[in-house]
Structure 1
Amino acid sequence: MSENKAASRYAKSLIDLAKERNALEEIKNDMVFLEQVIDQNPELEAILRNPIVPLDKKSGILENILGAKVNEATKAFAKLIVNKGRSAILFDISKSFIAQYNALKGIVTAYVTTATELTAESRAEIVAIVKKEIGANEVVIREKVNDKLIGGFILKVGDRQFDASIASSLNKLKKEFAQGIA
């Protein structure tokens, strides 16, 4: 079984457990915390992926990191994953859990690249459009400024992309002129 499938299945199991214990929000916050900790500490990720490091050592390291910061179910789950020899996919499990949680709650992430920073009005307009078009309950906007765009924006939601940048329009015009001349 591929690591992504395994991570997805473990994440689904944890979501089911979280629902059963009425702790979905709390465990989601734990998974966000765990994802950030692993992402920001390459040494920790290397330890979790290293098959030579003993399982009890990995378990102890995670126990120290998670400590009193997370739900008991999250700690028990992390310990189970380590004891099963699957600590290498703990980061993928946390990402998969967050993605599945977002899908369950109707939360989508919109990636917006603009030439200048978005105004509050523009941000609200993008949220309204994405909610209407996608049918999302909540929209999280991730902004990126790219001064090469000249103006306009590029909006990506899932596998959809809408390019309303001036640079893109100029490139289209350039291609049309080149075809017309040839």
Structure 2
Amino acid sequence: MSNVAVANRYASALFQAARGKGTLNQAVEELKAMKEVLKTTPAFAKYLANPKFTKEQKQQFIQSSFQGTLSLEVVNTLRLLVDRKRTDILVPMIDKFVALSYEAQNIAEATVYSAKALTEEEKSQIAQVFAIKVGKAQLLIHNVVNADLLGGLKIRIGDRIFDGSVKAQLNRLERQLVTGTR
């Protein structure tokens, strides 16, 4: 079985457990924090993958490090991944869990590329307008400043892209002028 399929199964099991206990949002935040720890602390991921340390040592480390800061479901999932020697699927499992959670809550993530940083008010307005366009109850906006943009916005929601950049508008105008349509 591929790692993606295995990651999806673990994510689905954790999703069912967290939803059953009503801790879905908490688990999402905890797993996002865990993913950030894995990205910023490569030694942690190396430790989990290192065969020199026993399963018991790794589980004890997880228990002592995360007990009280992470929910029981998340800690138990981490311990299970260590027990089954599946820590390599931790990041894909987190991504799938977050996707399942957002889908269940009718939430989508949007990446907004802009020439300058957006204010919270601008992010809120974009979220309101584009949530309706994509049929979601809520959009979570992540702003990326792109100095190559002259102006306007480029918004990516899932596999959809809304390009309102100045360059895209000029390209559309050029096509209209060339073809003679308005």
With structure 1 as the length reference, what TM-score do the two structures score?
0.84
**Which of 45-54 and 4-13 deviates more?**
45-54
Q: What 5-or-longer segments of structure 2 have no aligned partner? A: none
Structure 2 CA distance for partners of 1:22 and 1:126, relative to 1, 3 Å: closer
Tell me whether 11-20 or 72-81 shows the greater mean CA deviation.
Answer: 72-81
C-alpha deviation, 1:62, in angstroms? 1.8
| Matching residue of 1:28 | 28
Shift in CA distance, 53/41, structure 1 to aligned 2, threshold 3 Å: same
Aligned-partner Cα distance in 2 for 1:48–1:13: 21
Cα gap change, 1:35 to 1:121, in 2 (>3 Å) = closer
Q: Which amino acid aligns with 1:96?
A: K
Name the counterpart of 1:136: 136
Higher helix share: 1
- Per the alignment, do residues 63 and 120 of structure 1 end up closer, same or farther by CA in structure 2, a change over 3 Å counting? closer
Q: In 1, are the aligned partners of 2:128 and 2:138 still within 8 Å (CA)?
A: no
What letter corresponds to residue 69 of structure 2 in structure 1?
K
Mapped pair 1:47 → 2:51: no
Q: 1:171 to 1:151 in 2, by over 3 A?
A: same
Deviations 1:112-135, CA, capped at 9 Å, x for gaps: 111122245532331122211112
CA deviation map 1:151-171 (0-9, x unaligned): 111110000001111133445
Q: Which residue of 2 aligns with 1:76?
A: 76
SS in 2 for 1:148: coil
Q: Greater shift after overlay, 114-123 or 94-103?
A: 114-123
Contact 1:108/1:140, CA 8 A, preserved across alignment: yes
Count, aligned residues: 180
1:36-95 C-alpha deviation (Å, 9 max, x unpaired): 222221111122234454322322222232122112232222111211111221232222
Contact 1:148-1:167 at 8 Å conserved across structures = no
Alpha-carbon distance in structure 2 between the residues aligned to 1:60 and 1:4:
27
One-letter identity of the residue aligned with 1:48: L
CA RMSD after TM alignment: 2.6
Kindly indicate whether the alpha-carbon contact (under 8 Å) linking 2:151 and 2:166 is maintained by their aligned counterparts in 1: yes
Equivalent pair of 1:35/1:94 in contact (CA under 8 Å): yes
What is the CA–CA distance in structure 1 between the aligned matches of 2:174 and 2:64, rounded to whole Å? Answer: 59
Unmatched runs of 5 consecutive residues or more in structure 1 = none
Q: What percentage of residue pairs aligned between the two structures are identical?
A: 26
Q: Is residue 2:61 matched to residue 1:61?
A: yes
8 Å contact kept, 1:55–1:83: yes
- CA 1:113–1:22 in 2, change beyond 3 Å: closer, same or farther? closer
